[in-house]
């Protein structure tokens, strides 16, 4: 069963994100979906043809993590956009953030600092499924550094393609726009 790119056209017109930036980003995401499907098809054929002991199979298997995670992280990212940027202070997520970070403001300060780290990658608020604890992580590449057994709750893309069209090298301005558009309901629904 092939993966199908989701339509995020509802985000067009979102404050702080130009239509050009969003359409470019949607096209990039669609490429991850296409490449995930191509890799899965090719790997299935190689498995069927007994070609699993080849360097080509190994490299394609490694590449699958990059393409699949690129697809899925973008889906989480786009799904957690389009809101009004205000968390429900009485909601379960706000209470959990305050519990684990001391306050919502302390969490936000840490998340913004994580997103401002030099380099390309993702800032992700994860929930540890073993303990329930919330932790902000820097993920350098799509397929490297994800904490095992953790659920991504809030995802901020900080690869240049997510902001440079609109903000150039002013990543803090992009982070500000991101926070104004968080769909906190979608994030809270991910909370375990």
Mean pLDDT of the chain, nearest integer: 97
Question: How crowded is residue 114: how many other Cβ atoms within 10 Å of its Cβ?
Answer: 20
- Say what the pTM is: 0.96
CATH of domain 92-190: 3.55.40.20
Residue 1 DSSP one-character state: -
CATH topology of domain 18-79: Helix Hairpins (1.10.287)
Nearest to 115 by CA among 61, 78, 76, 170: 170
Q: What is the mean pLDDT of residues 139-151?
A: 93
> Which uninterrupted H or E stretch holds 16?
none
Residue 146 is labelled as binding a ligand: no
Q: Is a pLDDT exceeding 90 seen at residue 1?
A: no
Residue 157 is labelled as binding a ligand: yes
Per residue in 103-136, pLDDT tens?
Answer: 999 999 999 999 999 999 999 999 999 999 999 9
Buried b (16+ CB within 10 A) or exposed e, 157-180: bbbeebbebbbeeebeebbebbbe
Residue 142 is labelled as binding a ligand: no
Domain ranges of the chain: 18-79, 92-190
């Amino acid at each position: 069963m092939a993966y199908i790119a989701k339509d995020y056209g509802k985000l067009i017109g979102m404050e702080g994100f130009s239509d050009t930036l969003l359409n470019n980003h949607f096209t990039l995401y669609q490429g991850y979906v296409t490449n995930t499907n191509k890799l899965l098809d090719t790997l299935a054929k190689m498995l069927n043809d007994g070609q699993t002991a080849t360097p080509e199979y190994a490299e394609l298997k490694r590449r699958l993590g990059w393409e699949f995670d690129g697809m899925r992280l973008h889906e989480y990212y786009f799904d957690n956009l389009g809101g009004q940027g205000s968390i429900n202070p009485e909601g379960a997520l706000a209470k959990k953030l305050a519990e684990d970070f001391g306050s919502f403001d302390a969490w936000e300060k840490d998340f913004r600092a994580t997103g401002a780290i030099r380099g390309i990658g993702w800032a992700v608020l994860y929930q540890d499924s073993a303990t329930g604890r919330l932790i902000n992580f820097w993920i350098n590449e799509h397929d490297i550094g994800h904490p095992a057994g953790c659920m991504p709750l809030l995802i901020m893309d900080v690869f240049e393609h997510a902001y440079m069209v609109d903000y150039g090298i002013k990543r803090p301005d992009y982070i500000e726009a991101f926070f104004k558009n968080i769909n906190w309901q979608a994030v809270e629904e991910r909370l375990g």
